[in-house]
Amino acid sequence: MSKINTNICPVCGGKRFRSFLTCKDHYVSGEQFEISECEGCGLKITNNIEPEENADRYYQSENYISHSNTSKGFINLIYHQIRRYMLGRKRRLIERLSKRKSGSLLDIGTGTGFFLNEMANHGWKVTGTEKSESAREFAREKFNIYINTPSDINSFNGKQFNIITLWHVLEHIYNLNEYMEQLVRLMKDDGFLIIAVPNSTSFDARFYKKFWAAYDVPRHIWHFSPEQVKLLGEKHGLKLNGIKKMPFDAFYISILSERYRGTKMPFIRGVVTGKTAWFLSLFDHRKSSSLIFIFKKP
């Protein structure tokens, strides 16, 4: 099966690209991947990736903690502590935004179900999709929450969700525009679409360059700037209602990036860089390691 090279930019429709960086897959395969940049809007795109049906092997790592629940190792331990804090923060953000304490919520790429469980425990009617079967099973066993497969959303009734969330998922999605269309169809007229992605204009991205852990090739196909996410939403008839920063991501990403570039004491150096990134992002959201975009229908 032949590899996928994007030749039309999914954000602006541009057809001219220049090379940007070559990155290594540090997590799973050790393979090199080239990232190119759209000359029209600047979207950065991972080239020469496996078609979706063959991409599973790039997710098969004990290290791929986004989808696992192991607490081994110091970095994992920190990750899990931050996750606990972030779950509450995400819920409060949603409740503040929507001025609701309950409602219907769809979480795309929900992983092992921690976020859905947090929302369900606070009175939300939750639905989730996840492509990993073991993650779906985990959610069913641990939280008693049934999780759908990604293609199940095609048969969902339209305009049924108050909130749709994608926490670090959009950058993994192959058919970006088809997917966005589905999400817009599923949103209520007064609903919110909440998209969190790594920020390619961040301080840590510029500092670590090819070692920036959030390039995470080839799992991350698209590497967005704030302008590109806004454009993508507008292309689908949505209006950007706000941008929020995710300040803790800078620490985790910096520690991981230090590990990737093989520095001694990656934890200490990562914390120092993470602190700088976090501090700078206080004044400028474009410096923030990750961002949350809030979209509404106009």
Which positions lie near Zn ion, rule CB under 5 A? 9, 11-12, 14, 38, 40-41, 43
Q: Which is nearer to Zn ion, 12 or 243 (CB)?
A: 12
**CA 200 – CA 55 distance, rounded (Å):** 23
Residue type, 11: V
**What six digits make up the tokens of 251?**
């620490």
Residue pair 39/17 in contact by the 8 Å Cβ criterion: yes
Find, among 201, 213, 193, 225, the residue nearest to 293 by Cα: 193
Least CB distance from residue 228 to Zn ion, whole Å? Answer: 7
Rounded (10°) CA dihedral 44, 45, 46, 49? 180
**What six digits make up the tokens of 227?**
């302008």
Q: Which is nearer to Zn ion, 10 or 111 (CB)?
A: 10
Q: Within 10 Å of residue 263's Cβ, how many Cβ atoms?
A: 14
Q: Which is nearer to Zn ion, 200 or 273 (CB)?
A: 200
Q: Which is nearer to Zn ion, 11 or 153 (CB)?
A: 11
Least CB distance from residue 17 to Zn ion, whole Å? Answer: 9
For residue 236, list its beta bridge partners.
Answer: none
For 156, which DSSP code?
S
- Tell me the H-state helices in the chain: 74-98, 114-121, 133-143, 176-186, 203-208, 226-235, 249-260, 266-281
Least CB distance from residue 50 to Zn ion, whole Å? Answer: 23
Least CB distance from residue 39 to Zn ion, whole Å? Answer: 8
Least CB distance from residue 26 to Zn ion, whole Å? Answer: 27
Residue pair 127/107 in contact by the 8 Å Cβ criterion: yes
Q: Which is nearer to Zn ion, 40 or 150 (CB)?
A: 40
Least CB distance from residue 9 to Zn ion, whole Å? Answer: 3
Least CB distance from residue 40 to Zn ion, whole Å? Answer: 4
Least CB distance from residue 110 to Zn ion, whole Å? Answer: 29
For residues 82-116, b (16+ Cβ closer than 10 Å) or e, as one string?
Answer: ebeebbeebbebbbebbebeebbbbbbbbbbbbbb
Q: Which is nearer to Zn ion, 44 or 131 (CB)?
A: 44
Q: Which is nearer to Zn ion, 153 or 221 (CB)?
A: 221
Q: Within 10 Å of residue 152's Cβ, how many Cβ atoms?
A: 11
Q: Which is nearer to Zn ion, 45 or 250 (CB)?
A: 45
For residue 113, list its beta bridge partners.
Answer: none
Residue type, 13: G
